[in-house]
Structure formats: structure tokens, C-alpha cells
Amino acid sequence: MRYETLSELNAERSARRAVLVVTDVESGDQRLVKAADIAADPLHSELDRHLRMGKSGMIDAGGRRIFLNVYAPTARLVIIGAVHISQALAPLAQSLGYDVYVVDPRTAFASPERFAGVPLFADWPDVALPPLKIDRYTAFAALTHDPKIDDPALLHALSRDCFYIGALGSRKTHGKRLDRLKEQGVSEAALARIRAPIGLAIGAVSPAEIAVSIMAQITASLRLPQESPAIQPLRVPA
């Protein structure tokens, strides 16, 4: 790999931006493709597919053998609320390779005894979230049911390019939430990014089952093409 390519690759990775190195196996020619440039690339379909799956691999491009080396940042999950669902969701996400962080100003909930091995931030969202540097490789789940905690957290998430934002609550609860956020100046387009009720419609009842439904929806958001049909959210009574 040329020094210039390596330097550019390291710069993109340091900034938590995805990048692919495209190598012509026969000639040895290499080029670097940033995530933002994939749509304009001749190999955009294959580049997009491999990046979404997070896996490197060989492809055939017009009779040429091309190796795509994928460099994607480790996905993060920021959980707002150290509640029972979070106790199941945090280790599940960790088992899938996510870096997980739990934010809750209520120290009785955000305790190491309840979240062994999970970074905890016992502060209000406006204090805890900025240092986490939420980005497009971050999934965000608001689970407290407390507007004083969830609303400012969602405002912060909506100002970032998260690949997933979800919030717990019935349709009635979410409707009231949307009204409050609109009063804060949030646009309809931004509000539409919130998955609520959070999770897939798998008939989940227990905290562990709800955690599975949330993690499945997050995985679909990360792995499936944007043009895929919408996946039904968890059905919660109004």
C-alpha cells in the first residue's frame, strides 16, 4: 500500500469514518473509496453491500478479480435509562460487538451492580452525551419514559447523524413526545427518524424479549439497504 493511501486510510479511521480499499488482484493497483463517495463509484452496489455487512471480500468486476477491504468503525449503542430493559439490552449488544454506554442521572438505577462491565454515566444527558461524540455509527435508545431525561437526550441524538434512534412508549405517549419536541423547534423530517414504539413487532413481553426486538431493529437499520421495505415496529397498546 502506498504511503499516501495508508495516511488517508488512517485519517479516515481516526475520524470514525468508514472507508474501503479496492485492490485489483492481478495488477496490484489500489484505490481508496470513502463512504461519502460510494454512490458515485462504478462499483457502488458492491461497495455499499460489503460496507453494510461490514465484511471484506472478493468480487468479479467485468472479468477482473477485485478485493474489497472494508474498514468500518465499531458500532456503538447509547442507552438512555438504566432500566430493566437496559439490563438485558446492554449485554446483548455487547455480545454482538457493540460498544455500549448507559446514561441515567438516577444513581439508584445507574449502578455497577446492575450493569457489570458496562460504562455508566450517572449524569443528565446534556452533560453525559457530548463527550461520547455520537456519530453515524451510533445507535441510540431512549428508554426511561421520563420526558425530563428522554427529551433532551433525543434532541441531542437528532442533531447527530445516528444510524438508528428509538424511543420506548406507546403511540399515545410518543404523540405527546412529538408535540413536545416540535415545541423545541424539531422539524417533521427529523422527528420521523425516531423509531417509536421502539423494536420489531415480535410479540415481545418481558424486558429480555423487548431487548431482542430492539436489537433486531438496530441490526436491520445497520445492515439492510435504505430502500428496503419498512420493518414493523413493536406494537404497544395506546
Residue 232 has pLDDT above 90, yes or no: no
Closest to 130 in 3D by CA, of 64, 78, 187, 66 = 78
Q: Give residues with Cβ within 8 angstroms of 167, minimum separation 6.
A: 141, 142, 143, 150, 154, 174, 177, 194, 195, 196, 198
Q: Which letter does DSSP use for residue 54 in this model?
A: T
Q: How confident is the model at residue 161 (pLDDT cuts 50, 70, 90)?
A: confident
State pLDDT tens for residues 166-214: 999 999 999 999 999 999 999 999 999 999 999 999 999 999 999 999 9
Domains and CATH numbers, the chain: 3-71 (no CATH), 76-223 (3.40.50.720)
Average pLDDT, stretch 92-102? 97
> Is 163 in a helix, a strand, or coil?
coil
**CA gap 86, 81 in Å, rounded:** 7
Cell numbers given for 222: 445497520
Lowest mean pLDDT among 28-42, 87-101, 206-220: 28-42
**CA gap 166, 179 in Å, rounded:** 16
Q: Do residues 145 and 121 make contact, with C-beta atoms less than 8 angstroms apart?
A: no
